[in-house]
Structure 1
Amino acid sequence: MAYGKRETEGVATLADIEALPEGVVGEIIEGTLYVHAQPRAGHMDTLGGLFAALRGPFQQGRGGPGGWWIQVEPGIRLEGSPEFIPDVAGWRKDRVARIPTGSWLVAPDWACEVLSPSTRAYDLRIKRPFYARIGIKHLWFIDLDARTLLVSELREGQWVEVGTYCDEDVIRVPPFEDLELRLGELWPLLEPTSGT
Structure 2
Amino acid sequence: MPIDTNPIKYLATFADIETLPEGVVGEIINGTLYTNARPRAAHGHFEYRLLRELDDAFQLDREGPGSWWLLAEPGIRAGGSPEFSPDLAGWRRERVPLMPQGQWTDVPDWACEILSPTTRAYDTRIKRPFYARIGIKHLWFVDLDARTLTVSELRDGRWLEMGVYGESDDLIRAPPFEERDLRLGWLWKSLPPPG
TM-score under structure 1 length normalisation:
0.92
| Residue ranges of structure 2 left out of the alignment (5+ in a row) | none
Could you tell me how far apart the structure 2 residues matched to 1:3 and 1:54 are? 34
Q: What is the match of residue 191 of structure 2?
A: 189
Q: Which stretches in structure 1 are left out of the alignment for 5+ residues?
A: none
1:166 and 2:155 equivalent?
no
Q: Per-residue deviation at 1:145?
A: 0.2
Q: 2:72 aligned with 1:77, yes or no?
A: no
Kept after mapping to 1: 8 A contact 2:53/2:183: no
Q: Partner of 1:51: helix, strand, or coil?
A: helix
- Given the superposition, is the C-alpha separation of residues 66 and 192 from structure 1 closer, same or farther in structure 2, using an over 3 Å criterion? closer
Deviations 1:29-50 (A, max 9, x none): 1111001111011000000001
Distance 1:142 1:80 in 2: 26
Per mean C-alpha deviation after superposition, the further-off stretch among 26-35 and 70-79 is 70-79
Distance across 1 between alignment mates of 2:28 and 2:150: 24
The C-alpha deviation readout for 1:72-102, integer Å capped at 9, x for no partner, is 0011101521010000000000111111121
Residue 168 of structure 2 aligns to a residue whose secondary structure is coil
Whole-Å Cα distance in 1 between the matches of residues 146 and 79 of structure 2?
36
Runs of 4+ residues over 6 Å off in structure 1: none
Q: What SS does the aligned partner of 1:66 have?
A: coil
Asked whether the 8 Å contact 1:132–1:157 carries over to 2, the reply is yes
Secondary structure of the structure 2 residue equivalent to 1:16: helix
Map of 2:157 onto structure 1: 157
Q: 1:89 to 1:192 in 2, by over 3 A?
A: closer
Give 2:64's aligned residue. 64
Q: Give the paired residue count.
A: 191
Contact 1:3/1:36 (CA < 8 Å) preserved in 2?
Answer: no
Q: Residue type matched to 2:192 in 1?
A: L
Cα displacement string for residues 79-128 of structure 1 (whole angstroms, at most 9, x for unaligned residues): 52101000000000011111112111110000000000110000000000
Measured in 2, the distance between the counterparts of 1:57 and 1:138 equals 18
Q: CA deviation at 1:22?
A: 1.3
How far apart in 2 are the matches of 1:57 and 1:92?
13
Deviation (angstroms), 1:192: 7.1
Q: Percent identity?
A: 63
Once residues 98 and 192 of structure 1 are traced to their aligned partners in structure 2, the CA distance between those partners, rounded to angstroms, is 39
